[in-house]
Structure 1
Amino acid sequence: MKLEERLIRSVKMRAGNVILRSDLASLGSASQLSEALRALQRRGLLVRIGTGIYAKTRVSSITGAVVPAGSLESLSQEALQRLGVTVSASSAAAAYNDGGTTQIPGKLVVNTGKRRIQRKIAVGGRRLVYENDYTRAATSAGRSLR
């Protein structure tokens, strides 16, 4: 059985919509896996949302195009959870949820606590943005972030 066929079976059997490259590492060598994942992307079975992070796809009922099987919010939350990163609501989202402001946050921002993270996750042209307690402390103390 070809590696591509084994990957298809493995992806279909997995719960959730996020597939990590590390989940599939035991199926073949790094170069074989890269080529097989590229082939699945060309066929429209997977879409890459970050380095080593792939999402399952579905066919849109409106346009008939292949789209990720979730939104940026759901896929990024699942990916970060699978990577072991704990996140909470951003300061803007927390202020809106507490009734402190009527401004709806325009982009998806998550707070990573004391953890610094640089991983890029993007779905459909939208990108996840991170904030942490270090940037909050610097801005609340009146210091510039530059």
Structure 2
Amino acid sequence: MQVEERLKRAIALRKDDVFLRSEFARFGSPAQLSRAIRQLIAEGVLVKLGLGVFAKAKPSALTGKPIPVQPLEVLAPLVLQKLGVKVGASRAVREYNSGASQQLAAGIVLDTGRRRITRKLGFGKQTVAYESHHA
């Protein structure tokens, strides 16, 4: 399948570790794209992080199953930046870094400023939570 090969080559050449489906639109029709992406996920070239959001994959050292090339803590802010959302450290992380708290937040929490984000991002059992503050 030509679309799949072109997609695989484009992913290999890009420095980005995360991709939005819209970035692949020029490679073919939506149906061709869906088939090609499904095939690349099956081959372990890509992993799905959310609706229309994918990351480069590598085999897990423990299980051999495909996992993202970088941890979700690194990839999630990159995805949001691509979507035009400014991201900062969560309140818990800021308090920990300033010495105001000894507790570090469990899980991945990103501060999205005043933007309310409903997009679900995650991999496996790990998901990203969002923290927004209003005026």
Distance 1:106 1:66 in 2: 24
Correspondence for 1:97: 97
Partner of 2:39: 39
Amino acid at match of 1:18: V
**If you compute each CA radius of gyration, which structure gives the higher value, 1 or 2?**
1
CA–CA separation in structure 2 for the residues paired with 1:124 and 1:74:
15
Match of 2:17 in 1: 17
2:106 is aligned with 1:106 = yes
Whichever residue aligns with residue 47 of structure 2, its letter is V
CA contact (8 A) 2:88 2:112 kept: yes
Contact 1:71 1:123 in 2 (8 A): no
In the TM superposition, residue 73 of structure 1 has moved relative to its aligned partner by: 0.5
Map residues 60-139 of structure 1 onto 2, 5 A cutoff: 60-134=60-134
Percentage of pairs with the same residue: 44
Q: Which runs of 4+ in 1 moved over 4 A?
A: none
Gaps of 5+ in 1: 138-146
1:117 & 1:65 partners in 2: Cα distance? Answer: 30
The range that moved more, 55-64 or 5-14, is 55-64
**What count of residue pairs does the alignment treat as equivalent?**
135
For 2:110 and 2:62, how far apart are their aligned partners in 1? 30
1:27-67 alpha-carbon deviations (Å, 9 max, x no partner): 11111111111111111111100111100111233443322
3-state SS in 2 of match to 1:128? strand
Q: Cα RMSD (Å) of the superposition?
A: 1.4
